[in-house]
Structure 1
Amino acid sequence: MREWLINRLEIPPRTVLNRKIPKKAFFTQADLSTSEKEMFTAQVEGTYLLSVMNQQSTNIPIYQDEEFHYAEVVWIYVELRLTKNINRIIGAVHKSIPNPVVLIIGSSECRVLLSTSHKRLNKNDKTRVVAEQPTITDWFKPMEADTAYSKLLNALVVSNLSFESLHSIYDDIYQWIRCEEMIQLVGAIPTSSDKREEAINILNNVQKYRKEVEQLQQDQKGQLDFGAKMDLHMKMKIKEQEINSQLQQIKELC
């Protein structure tokens, strides 16, 4: 699977390492709890450094400002024995590596998921970074052709990404992986990077409205007055109609 993914994503040969990383290396790089270490040892079959993209290997400039210092983009492949606690494993990997990571998790059923997490400089200590909440796709079969996920992989082919800086190439990957939620919602992703930004803005609205519906549902459960219940019900219906309208707009961009 690793070699297939390297070829499928056309990762530049000069950046490819595809070598095994000892699991203990993750323990020394981050302050993992005892339970995280035990989980990692029990559930991970192997970890591999697929690629290191830096200025030397890609001619893509380093990026640095007050928030970010991106000198390398690292591609990591983790092969699992079990798919339990997947979010904790993903969090542990991102926490263990100070550079931005394109994380590919593989299962024994020939399925994968993708994850990214921007790393911001710690405001109190610029030698340390803080990992943002990871973006995680659903599981999918990468070798299936003519699917929305095959189109996602097409978008992630390295030559199709932004080469302005190491931050821009990573953010390009990050934004496409965010679009995977659209596959779950409407069965497709935007047809171009230009339409992607608009679609993500609409997706943010959908997520906001969904949270509001969830809150209204909670409020309705605790409400005893019938009239108040109906009022909350009508508010939910209005929000749901807005969600459907927003999803239709996403479809039109895909």
Structure 2
Amino acid sequence: MKLSTFCILFCLSAGLSQAAIYVWSGAAGNGIYGDSGNWTVDGTTNGYYPQSDRDHAIIGENAGTITWSTSQAYFGATSTVQIGSGSTLLCTTTIGDLNVNSFTLGGNSQLIFESSNALGLGRDFSLDFGTMTAKEHGTLTATDISGFWTNGKTVTFIGVLDTNSLSGSGTIELASIKSSQLGGNLNLDLSGLYIPYNAQIQADVTQVTENGVTKVLINYETVPEPATATLSLLGLGGLLLRRKRQ
């Protein structure tokens, strides 16, 4: 009897400790991250929303703006958060820490940190942009914050640039972060951003500070094909020779 009771308690404990995958349904119709009516687990609501280090949150495409604030308990306590293209996760708080291991930003999704008081980073985290193009890429914005307690944390950027989709020249802005940071400088690790070799494209990742805002940018430029460049030089040479004869 004691063994059976122990087994039951152990199984219940193990079940409660397992990670839950929450999928955003938006069924409550209010766009609030902390409303359990907006989330499903295995297709049904369970009275909870993502709120522990073992939970995973999935926000699909074109879900609109979802607000995550300290008016909701367990602000920022989630293992991973996926944000689909066309969706925005707005993290706004009176005061509180964000504790997330990683964000995945698909397509034209947005992750925004905004606060009239203070917002703190409770841990290092990664931003996974997946495969990016000039027109389809996620963005991080953290500029409208009175006190940004970065606490010396590191944000690791991960992603692959689709160079085959590029043409002309331009700039892809992946992040815009207020540089007046408290509790230690925010460290940006850009080594995880990969640009495959492409003979027709020159691209590089840069971190710049403009008007007090730190930005992570990918600059790219199309390189003329050798044949085109040769024809251009021949044309220029012919023009010069013609002028010389005249």
TM-score after normalising by structure 2: 0.27
Higher relative CO (Cα under 8 Å, sequence separation at least 6) belongs to 1
In our comparison, the structure showing a higher alpha carbon Rg is 2
Structure ranking higher in helix proportion: 1
TM-score after normalising by structure 1: 0.26
